[in-house]
Amino acid sequence: MNIEQRGREPQDHEPGDRVQPGDPTGDFWEQLRRSTQSRIGLGRTGDSLPTNRVLELRSAHAAARDAVHLPLEVDGLAERIEAIGLGHAARVTSRASSRAEYLRRPDLGRLPADLADVPHSGADLGFVLGDGLSPLALSEHGAPLLAALVAELSEHYSIAPPVIATQARVALGDHIAEAMGVQTVIVLIGERPGLSVADSLGIYLTHRPRPGRADADRNCISNIHPPEGLGYTEAARVVAGLVSGARRLGRSGVDLKDTSRSDALTSGGGLTIE
């Protein structure tokens, strides 16, 4: 091997993988990388990661930081969700006065500053759209996910006008739900960004919500960010199953299980689950 050839990489592998032509290890990592967003088979240059892998990591870290600190554009989100047809979107903020305080004081993000703008409806369901730890996720996925949920649930339940919550933690939804007078609250909230995904949205469902409910009283559906993550329609189908189950059981949380997949199988073609 001459000097010019030394260190060259095969064109069908990532630089730094150090894979020789015909080496089955290269195919192994390449196939796995196609099926996951995790950082695997990164290769090496000497004792370190290849430069491009280091730059990818720094870029992902910067994107995650931006997702946390990006302010939610409330007016634009309100227009998009009001177009769904649930009525005027009320606005609530937590007692965290700034993003910096929100990050330092999670307790303040669980308490409302004022609920005067929230109308009492007494509906079956209420939706709260919170910025959480990724306002980017709510901006990207909040409106289309809400549309899918309404399409799945509106034929069976009455739905209150939605509420947009800023500097919000999950438990803020309990206070808002009590003001709305709903039987079940469904909180759509930005999840903590990771180094693979910065715009993932989560759903937290609480039946008979009230201030003081614990995390064990809720059901969570996470990783909603199509096309790589859970899709809107699939998430809405799971929520519909949980709402129905919570109403039968009389509560949500650890005693309530997602049976949507087995229900879909048992209702199709006579197939039963043993």
**How far apart (Å, rounded) are the C-alpha atoms in residues 185 and 206?**
5
B/e letters for 49-65, b = 16+ CB within 10 Å, e = fewer, are: bbeebeebeeebeeebe
In angstroms, the Cα distances linking 39 to 35, 139, 166, 225, 256 are 11, 26, 32, 19, 34
The pLDDT of residue 14 is 46
Q: Judge whether 203 and 221 are in contact, CB under 8 Å.
A: yes
Question: 69-266: which CATH topology?
Answer: Rossmann fold (3.40.50)
Please return the burial class of 45, using the count of CB atoms within 10 Å of its CB with bins 0-12, 13-18 and 19+: middle
Which residues have CB under 8 Å from 241's CB, separation 6+? 258, 259, 260, 263
Q: Encode 216-243: b = buried (16+ Cβ within 10 Å), e = exposed.
A: ebbbebeebbeeebbbbebbbbbbbbbb
Residue ranges of domains in the chain: 69-266
Q: Kind of pairing, strands 184-190 and 201-207? A: antiparallel
Residue 134: closest CA among 217, 65, 46: 65
The verdict on whether residue 68 carries a ligand-binding annotation is no
The answer to whether the annotation marks 74 as part of a ligand binding site is no
CB 70 within 8 A of CB 198: no
220 assigned to a ligand binding site: yes
For the chain, 274 residues long, give each residue's pLDDT as a single digit of tens: 444 443 434 444 444 444 444 455 556 777 787 777 777 878 778 888 888 888 888 887 888 887 888 899 999 999 999 999 999 999 999 999 999 999 999 999 999 999 999 999 999 999 999 999 999 999 999 999 999 999 999 999 999 999 999 999 999 999 999 999 999 999 999 999 888 889 999 999 999 999 999 999 999 999 999 998 999 999 999 999 999 999 999 999 999 988 766 555 444 433 222 2
pLDDT at residue 8, as a whole number: 39
- Spacing of C-alpha 133 from chain mean position: 10
Can you spell out the DSSP letters for 120-147? ----SEEEEEE-TT-HHHHHHHHHHHHH
Is 171 within 8 Å of 189 (Cβ atoms)? no
The whole-angstrom separation of Cα 218 and Cα 12 is: 47
Q: Find out whether 133 and 190 touch, Cβ atoms under 8 Å.
A: yes
Pairing between β-strand 201-207 and β-strand 218-224 as defined by DSSP bridges:
antiparallel
Measure CA 1 to chain center: 51
Residue 126 φ/ψ, nearest 5 degrees:
-135, 140
